[in-house]
Structure 1
Amino acid sequence: MMTRPENVLKFCPKCGSSAFHFEGERSFLCNSCKFHFFINGSAAVAALIENEKDELLLTVRAFHPNKGMLDLPGGFVDPNESAEDALNREIKEELNLDIKEAHYLGSFPNQYVYSGYTVYTCDLAFRCKVQGWNQVHIHDDISDIQFVNKENIDWNAIGAESIKKIIKAHWNM
Protein backbone atom coordinates (compact mmCIF):
# COMPACT_ATOMS: atom_id res chain seq x y z
CA MET A 1 0.00 0.00 0.00
CA MET A 2 1.48 3.32 -1.05
CA THR A 3 0.38 5.08 2.15
CA ARG A 4 2.30 2.84 4.54
CA PRO A 5 5.12 4.65 6.41
CA GLU A 6 7.89 2.84 4.53
CA ASN A 7 6.48 4.20 1.26
CA VAL A 8 5.90 7.76 2.50
CA LEU A 9 8.77 8.66 4.85
CA LYS A 10 11.88 9.34 2.79
CA PHE A 11 13.99 11.71 4.93
CA CYS A 12 15.23 11.63 8.51
CA PRO A 13 13.08 13.94 10.68
CA LYS A 14 16.13 14.81 12.79
CA CYS A 15 18.85 15.66 10.25
CA GLY A 16 16.98 15.63 6.93
CA SER A 17 19.23 13.00 5.36
CA SER A 18 17.91 10.71 2.65
CA ALA A 19 19.92 7.91 4.27
CA PHE A 20 16.76 7.07 6.21
CA HIS A 21 15.98 3.38 5.85
CA PHE A 22 13.06 1.20 6.85
CA GLU A 23 14.27 -1.38 9.37
CA GLY A 24 11.29 -3.71 9.31
CA GLU A 25 7.78 -3.74 10.71
CA ARG A 26 8.06 -0.79 13.06
CA SER A 27 11.08 1.44 12.67
CA PHE A 28 13.44 3.47 10.52
CA LEU A 29 17.15 4.13 11.04
CA CYS A 30 19.13 7.07 9.72
CA ASN A 31 22.55 6.01 8.49
CA SER A 32 23.81 9.61 8.81
CA CYS A 33 22.90 10.64 12.36
CA LYS A 34 21.83 7.19 13.70
CA PHE A 35 18.37 8.50 14.71
CA HIS A 36 16.10 5.52 15.28
CA PHE A 37 12.47 6.39 14.50
CA PHE A 38 9.70 4.05 15.69
CA ILE A 39 6.23 3.75 14.20
CA ASN A 40 3.93 3.53 17.20
CA GLY A 41 0.17 3.40 17.42
CA SER A 42 -1.62 6.55 18.55
CA ALA A 43 -4.17 6.25 21.33
CA ALA A 44 -7.76 7.17 20.47
CA VAL A 45 -11.01 6.97 22.43
CA ALA A 46 -14.48 5.89 21.31
CA ALA A 47 -17.68 6.35 23.32
CA LEU A 48 -20.61 3.96 23.32
CA ILE A 49 -23.56 6.08 24.46
CA GLU A 50 -27.11 4.73 24.51
CA ASN A 51 -30.36 6.65 24.93
CA GLU A 52 -33.33 5.60 27.11
CA LYS A 53 -34.53 3.25 24.29
CA ASP A 54 -31.20 1.35 24.37
CA GLU A 55 -30.29 2.78 20.97
CA LEU A 56 -26.63 3.49 20.30
CA LEU A 57 -25.54 6.99 19.27
CA LEU A 58 -23.50 7.05 16.07
CA THR A 59 -22.00 10.12 14.48
CA VAL A 60 -21.66 10.98 10.80
CA ARG A 61 -18.11 11.99 9.87
CA ALA A 62 -17.84 15.50 8.43
CA PHE A 63 -14.30 15.04 7.08
CA HIS A 64 -12.04 12.40 5.59
CA PRO A 65 -11.11 9.72 6.28
CA ASN A 66 -14.51 8.09 5.79
CA LYS A 67 -16.40 11.35 5.26
CA GLY A 68 -20.17 10.75 5.41
CA MET A 69 -19.81 7.36 7.08
CA LEU A 70 -20.92 6.36 10.55
CA ASP A 71 -18.58 6.37 13.53
CA LEU A 72 -18.62 6.45 17.29
CA PRO A 73 -18.00 9.79 18.97
CA GLY A 74 -14.41 10.22 20.16
CA GLY A 75 -10.97 11.03 18.85
CA PHE A 76 -7.26 11.10 19.51
CA VAL A 77 -5.71 11.32 22.95
CA ASP A 78 -3.54 14.44 23.09
CA PRO A 79 0.06 14.29 24.37
CA ASN A 80 0.15 14.17 28.18
CA GLU A 81 -3.61 13.55 28.36
CA SER A 82 -5.26 10.52 29.96
CA ALA A 83 -7.73 8.43 27.96
CA GLU A 84 -10.46 9.44 30.41
CA ASP A 85 -9.72 13.14 29.99
CA ALA A 86 -9.65 12.72 26.20
CA LEU A 87 -13.01 10.94 26.33
CA ASN A 88 -14.60 13.76 28.32
CA ARG A 89 -13.02 16.44 26.10
CA GLU A 90 -14.01 14.78 22.82
CA ILE A 91 -17.63 14.19 23.86
CA LYS A 92 -17.91 17.79 25.04
CA GLU A 93 -16.30 19.12 21.83
CA GLU A 94 -18.33 16.97 19.43
CA LEU A 95 -21.72 16.75 21.14
CA ASN A 96 -21.71 19.25 24.04
CA LEU A 97 -22.52 16.36 26.38
CA ASP A 98 -21.09 15.70 29.84
CA ILE A 99 -20.18 12.13 30.77
CA LYS A 100 -21.38 11.07 34.20
CA GLU A 101 -20.14 7.45 33.98
CA ALA A 102 -17.57 5.70 31.81
CA HIS A 103 -16.59 2.04 31.91
CA TYR A 104 -13.72 0.65 29.86
CA LEU A 105 -14.77 -2.01 27.34
CA GLY A 106 -11.49 -2.84 25.63
CA SER A 107 -8.90 -1.87 23.02
CA PHE A 108 -9.15 -2.36 19.28
CA PRO A 109 -6.33 -1.79 16.75
CA ASN A 110 -7.14 0.30 13.71
CA GLN A 111 -5.49 1.92 10.73
CA TYR A 112 -6.71 4.52 8.30
CA VAL A 113 -5.28 6.81 5.69
CA TYR A 114 -5.02 10.52 6.46
CA SER A 115 -3.14 12.99 4.22
CA GLY A 116 -1.78 10.11 2.16
CA TYR A 117 -0.28 8.40 5.23
CA THR A 118 -1.41 5.29 7.10
CA VAL A 119 -2.12 6.18 10.72
CA TYR A 120 -2.10 3.31 13.22
CA THR A 121 -4.29 3.68 16.29
CA CYS A 122 -5.26 1.74 19.35
CA ASP A 123 -8.92 2.62 19.87
CA LEU A 124 -9.90 2.52 23.55
CA ALA A 125 -13.65 1.91 23.88
CA PHE A 126 -15.75 3.11 26.82
CA ARG A 127 -19.42 2.50 27.64
CA CYS A 128 -20.71 5.90 28.76
CA LYS A 129 -23.72 7.45 30.39
CA VAL A 130 -24.34 11.15 29.86
CA GLN A 131 -25.98 13.67 32.17
CA GLY A 132 -28.80 14.46 29.74
CA TRP A 133 -29.67 14.98 26.11
CA ASN A 134 -31.17 18.48 26.25
CA GLN A 135 -27.76 20.15 25.64
CA VAL A 136 -26.72 17.99 22.67
CA HIS A 137 -25.27 20.10 19.88
CA ILE A 138 -23.24 18.86 16.92
CA HIS A 139 -19.73 20.41 16.67
CA ASP A 140 -16.18 19.69 15.62
CA ASP A 141 -15.70 16.96 13.02
CA ILE A 142 -19.22 15.46 12.89
CA SER A 143 -22.08 16.51 10.63
CA ASP A 144 -24.98 14.57 12.16
CA ILE A 145 -25.96 11.90 14.66
CA GLN A 146 -28.12 8.78 14.42
CA PHE A 147 -29.49 6.36 16.97
CA VAL A 148 -29.43 2.67 15.99
CA ASN A 149 -30.17 -0.68 17.57
CA LYS A 150 -29.00 -4.20 16.75
CA GLU A 151 -31.86 -4.74 14.33
CA ASN A 152 -31.42 -1.62 12.18
CA ILE A 153 -27.69 -1.00 12.08
CA ASP A 154 -26.18 -0.76 8.59
CA TRP A 155 -22.74 -2.32 9.03
CA ASN A 156 -21.70 -1.17 5.53
CA ALA A 157 -22.23 2.48 6.54
CA ILE A 158 -19.59 2.26 9.30
CA GLY A 159 -16.22 3.44 8.02
CA ALA A 160 -13.68 1.81 10.35
CA GLU A 161 -13.31 -1.91 11.00
CA SER A 162 -12.31 -1.21 14.60
CA ILE A 163 -15.59 0.66 15.18
CA LYS A 164 -17.56 -2.34 13.86
CA LYS A 165 -15.63 -4.58 16.27
CA ILE A 166 -16.25 -2.21 19.19
CA ILE A 167 -20.00 -2.12 18.53
CA LYS A 168 -20.14 -5.91 18.18
CA ALA A 169 -18.25 -6.32 21.46
CA HIS A 170 -20.64 -3.87 23.14
CA TRP A 171 -23.65 -5.86 21.94
CA ASN A 172 -21.92 -9.23 22.58
CA MET A 173 -22.28 -10.22 18.91
Structure 2
Amino acid sequence: MQATHPLKVIKHCLKCGSTNFTPSGERSLKCGACGFHFFINSSAAVAALVTDTAGKLMLVTRGVEPNYGKLDLPGGFIDPMETAEQAVKRELKEELALDVKSLQYLTSAPNEYVFSDFSVFTLDMAFVVNDYFTEGLKPMDDILDYKFYAEDELDYKDIPAPSIKNFVQLYFKNLKRTKTK
Protein backbone atom coordinates (compact mmCIF):
# COMPACT_ATOMS: atom_id res chain seq x y z
CA MET A 1 0.00 0.00 0.00
CA GLN A 2 1.44 3.35 -1.11
CA ALA A 3 2.08 6.20 1.29
CA THR A 4 -0.59 8.17 -0.64
CA HIS A 5 -3.34 5.62 0.07
CA PRO A 6 -6.24 7.18 2.03
CA LEU A 7 -5.83 4.63 4.85
CA LYS A 8 -2.34 6.06 5.42
CA VAL A 9 -3.17 9.74 4.81
CA ILE A 10 -6.44 10.39 6.65
CA LYS A 11 -5.62 10.78 10.35
CA HIS A 12 -8.73 12.51 11.76
CA CYS A 13 -12.41 11.64 11.71
CA LEU A 14 -14.14 13.61 8.97
CA LYS A 15 -17.21 14.07 11.19
CA CYS A 16 -15.91 14.88 14.70
CA GLY A 17 -12.16 15.44 14.16
CA SER A 18 -11.05 12.70 16.56
CA THR A 19 -7.65 11.08 16.05
CA ASN A 20 -9.25 7.76 16.99
CA PHE A 21 -9.97 7.15 13.29
CA THR A 22 -8.50 3.79 12.33
CA PRO A 23 -8.66 1.37 9.41
CA SER A 24 -11.63 -0.99 9.47
CA GLY A 25 -10.77 -3.48 6.75
CA GLU A 26 -9.00 -2.80 3.47
CA ARG A 27 -11.13 0.12 2.28
CA SER A 28 -12.66 1.95 5.21
CA LEU A 29 -11.92 3.90 8.38
CA LYS A 30 -14.02 3.96 11.54
CA CYS A 31 -14.07 6.53 14.33
CA GLY A 32 -13.73 5.16 17.86
CA ALA A 33 -15.17 8.39 19.27
CA CYS A 34 -18.37 9.03 17.27
CA GLY A 35 -18.76 5.79 15.30
CA PHE A 36 -18.54 7.45 11.87
CA HIS A 37 -17.65 4.86 9.21
CA PHE A 38 -15.94 6.21 6.08
CA PHE A 39 -15.58 4.03 2.98
CA ILE A 40 -12.93 4.60 0.32
CA ASN A 41 -14.83 4.35 -2.95
CA SER A 42 -13.94 5.18 -6.52
CA SER A 43 -14.65 8.65 -7.85
CA ALA A 44 -16.25 8.85 -11.28
CA ALA A 45 -14.36 10.46 -14.17
CA VAL A 46 -14.76 10.71 -17.92
CA ALA A 47 -12.43 10.76 -20.92
CA ALA A 48 -13.38 11.85 -24.43
CA LEU A 49 -12.10 10.26 -27.62
CA VAL A 50 -12.37 13.02 -30.21
CA THR A 51 -11.25 12.15 -33.75
CA ASP A 52 -10.73 14.02 -36.97
CA THR A 53 -11.97 12.93 -40.40
CA ALA A 54 -8.78 10.92 -41.02
CA GLY A 55 -9.33 8.86 -37.84
CA LYS A 56 -6.59 10.58 -35.87
CA LEU A 57 -7.24 10.83 -32.13
CA MET A 58 -7.05 14.06 -30.16
CA LEU A 59 -4.68 14.01 -27.21
CA VAL A 60 -4.12 17.00 -24.99
CA THR A 61 -1.04 18.19 -23.12
CA ARG A 62 -1.70 18.50 -19.39
CA GLY A 63 -1.21 22.00 -17.99
CA VAL A 64 -1.46 20.99 -14.32
CA GLU A 65 -0.03 18.41 -11.96
CA PRO A 66 -0.09 15.53 -11.75
CA ASN A 67 1.79 14.73 -14.94
CA TYR A 68 2.24 18.31 -16.17
CA GLY A 69 3.30 18.32 -19.84
CA LYS A 70 2.26 14.70 -20.45
CA LEU A 71 -0.40 13.46 -22.85
CA ASP A 72 -3.98 12.77 -21.79
CA LEU A 73 -7.46 12.57 -23.21
CA PRO A 74 -9.70 15.55 -22.53
CA GLY A 75 -12.04 14.94 -19.62
CA GLY A 76 -12.21 15.07 -15.86
CA PHE A 77 -14.19 14.30 -12.74
CA ILE A 78 -17.97 14.04 -12.81
CA ASP A 79 -19.60 16.71 -10.65
CA PRO A 80 -22.16 15.69 -8.00
CA MET A 81 -25.60 15.05 -9.54
CA GLU A 82 -24.20 15.17 -13.08
CA THR A 83 -24.42 12.30 -15.58
CA ALA A 84 -21.30 10.98 -17.29
CA GLU A 85 -22.61 12.28 -20.61
CA GLN A 86 -23.16 15.76 -19.16
CA ALA A 87 -19.64 15.68 -17.69
CA VAL A 88 -18.07 14.85 -21.08
CA LYS A 89 -19.89 17.75 -22.71
CA ARG A 90 -19.04 20.16 -19.87
CA GLU A 91 -15.37 19.15 -19.76
CA LEU A 92 -14.94 19.51 -23.54
CA LYS A 93 -16.57 22.94 -23.41
CA GLU A 94 -14.37 24.05 -20.46
CA GLU A 95 -11.12 22.61 -21.79
CA LEU A 96 -11.40 23.16 -25.55
CA ALA A 97 -14.49 25.31 -26.27
CA LEU A 98 -15.81 22.26 -28.11
CA ASP A 99 -19.58 21.81 -28.46
CA VAL A 100 -20.63 18.16 -28.58
CA LYS A 101 -23.77 17.07 -30.44
CA SER A 102 -23.53 13.30 -29.84
CA LEU A 103 -21.34 10.78 -28.09
CA GLN A 104 -21.26 7.06 -27.37
CA TYR A 105 -20.03 5.13 -24.35
CA LEU A 106 -17.00 2.93 -25.13
CA THR A 107 -15.68 1.28 -21.95
CA SER A 108 -14.41 1.91 -18.43
CA ALA A 109 -11.21 1.25 -16.51
CA PRO A 110 -10.00 1.78 -12.95
CA ASN A 111 -7.25 4.28 -12.23
CA GLU A 112 -5.33 5.78 -9.33
CA TYR A 113 -4.98 9.56 -9.52
CA VAL A 114 -2.46 10.89 -7.00
CA PHE A 115 -3.14 14.55 -6.19
CA SER A 116 -1.58 16.48 -3.29
CA ASP A 117 0.05 13.26 -2.03
CA PHE A 118 -3.38 11.60 -1.76
CA SER A 119 -4.62 8.69 -3.89
CA VAL A 120 -7.99 9.24 -5.49
CA PHE A 121 -9.19 5.97 -6.93
CA THR A 122 -11.28 6.56 -10.02
CA LEU A 123 -13.50 4.69 -12.40
CA ASP A 124 -12.73 6.33 -15.73
CA MET A 125 -15.43 6.07 -18.39
CA ALA A 126 -14.48 6.61 -22.03
CA PHE A 127 -16.83 8.11 -24.59
CA VAL A 128 -16.35 8.42 -28.35
CA VAL A 129 -17.43 11.86 -29.49
CA ASN A 130 -19.27 11.33 -32.77
CA ASP A 131 -20.45 14.77 -33.77
CA TYR A 132 -19.08 18.10 -32.66
CA PHE A 133 -18.42 21.69 -33.70
CA THR A 134 -14.76 22.74 -33.86
CA GLU A 135 -15.18 26.45 -34.49
CA GLY A 136 -12.99 28.33 -32.04
CA LEU A 137 -11.32 25.17 -30.73
CA LYS A 138 -8.63 26.26 -28.26
CA PRO A 139 -6.82 24.83 -25.22
CA MET A 140 -8.13 26.30 -21.95
CA ASP A 141 -8.55 25.45 -18.26
CA ASP A 142 -5.96 22.77 -17.39
CA ILE A 143 -4.82 22.04 -20.96
CA LEU A 144 -1.71 23.54 -22.59
CA ASP A 145 -2.26 22.21 -26.10
CA TYR A 146 -4.00 19.59 -28.23
CA LYS A 147 -3.05 17.61 -31.31
CA PHE A 148 -4.60 14.84 -33.41
CA TYR A 149 -2.40 11.72 -33.57
CA ALA A 150 -2.20 8.65 -35.76
CA GLU A 151 -1.01 5.66 -33.75
CA ASP A 152 2.43 5.68 -35.39
CA GLU A 153 2.90 9.32 -34.29
CA LEU A 154 2.36 8.43 -30.66
CA ASP A 155 4.71 7.26 -27.92
CA TYR A 156 2.60 5.46 -25.31
CA LYS A 157 5.25 6.28 -22.67
CA ASP A 158 4.01 9.90 -22.89
CA ILE A 159 0.60 8.81 -21.52
CA PRO A 160 1.10 8.18 -17.79
CA ALA A 161 -2.44 7.18 -16.73
CA PRO A 162 -2.99 3.42 -17.31
CA SER A 163 -6.72 3.87 -17.95
CA ILE A 164 -6.12 6.56 -20.58
CA LYS A 165 -3.40 4.49 -22.25
CA ASN A 166 -5.89 1.58 -22.33
CA PHE A 167 -8.58 3.75 -23.97
CA VAL A 168 -6.17 5.05 -26.62
CA GLN A 169 -4.91 1.53 -27.42
CA LEU A 170 -8.51 0.26 -27.64
CA TYR A 171 -9.45 3.10 -29.99
CA PHE A 172 -6.60 2.31 -32.41
CA LYS A 173 -7.25 -1.44 -32.17
CA ASN A 174 -10.91 -0.86 -33.09
CA LEU A 175 -9.87 1.51 -35.89
CA LYS A 176 -7.59 -1.16 -37.41
CA ARG A 177 -10.38 -3.74 -37.13
CA THR A 178 -12.88 -1.52 -38.98
CA LYS A 179 -10.31 -0.72 -41.73
CA THR A 180 -9.69 -4.43 -42.41
CA LYS A 181 -13.39 -5.26 -42.82
Structure 1 length as normaliser, TM-score?
Answer: 0.96
Q: Residue 107 of structure 2 aligns with which residue?
A: 106
Q: What is the rounded CA distance, in whole Å, between the counterparts of 1:62 and 1:21 in structure 2?
A: 36
Give the whole-Å Cα distance in 1 for the aligned partners of 2:35 and 2:135.
Answer: 56
> Could you tell which deviates more after superposition, 126-135 or 160-169?
126-135
Shift of 1:147: 1.2
Instruction: Give 3-state SS (helix, strand or coil) of 1:131's partner.
Output: strand
Correspondence for 1:39: 40
Task: Give the gaps of 5 or more residues in structure 1.
Answer: none
Q: Tell me what 1:6 maps to.
A: 7
When the two structures are aligned, how many residues end up with a matched partner? 173
Instruction: Please give the secondary structure, in 1, of the residue aligned with 2:133.
Output: coil
Structure 2: distance between partners of 1:67 and 1:24: 34
Q: 1:82: Cα distance to partner?
A: 0.6
Alpha-carbon distance in 2 for matches of 1:63, 1:35: 34
SS at match of 1:89: helix
Q: Does 1:164 align with 2:165?
A: yes
What is the CA distance between 1:153 and its match in structure 2? Answer: 1.1
CA distance in 2, matches of 1:75, 1:127: 15
Q: Distance in 2 between matches of 1:102 and 1:150?
A: 22
Amino acid at match of 1:111: E
Q: Report what 1:58 is aligned to.
A: 59
Q: Which amino acid aligns with 2:5?
A: R
CA-based RMSD of the aligned residues comes to 1.1
- Provide the rounded CA distance (Å) in 1 between the counterparts of 2:91 and 2:11: 33
What SS class does the counterpart of residue 151 from structure 1 fall into? Answer: helix
2:152 aligns to what?
151
Name whichever structure is richer in helix by fraction: 2
CA distance in 2, matches of 1:37, 1:132: 43
Gaps of 5+ in 2: 175-181
Q: Is the 8 A contact 1:97 1:130 kept in 2?
A: no
Amino acid at match of 2:32: N
Secondary structure, in 3 states, of the residue corresponding to 2:130? Answer: strand
Partner in structure 2 of residue 49 of structure 1 = 50
What amino acid maps onto 2:88 in structure 1? L
Any conservation in 1 of the 2:23–2:29 contact (CA below 8 Å)? yes
In structure 2, the partner of 1:117 is: 118
Aligned positions of 1:11-30 closer than 5 A: 11-30=12-31
Match of 2:178 in 1: none
Give, in whole Å, the separation in 2 of the partners of 1:80 and 1:131. Answer: 24
Counterparts of 1:6 and 1:21, CA distance in 2: 8
* Distance in structure 2 (CA, Å) of the matches to 1:96 and 1:135: 7
1:121-172 deviation line (CA, Å, top 9, x unaligned): 0001000024332320111100011211121211011121110011112222
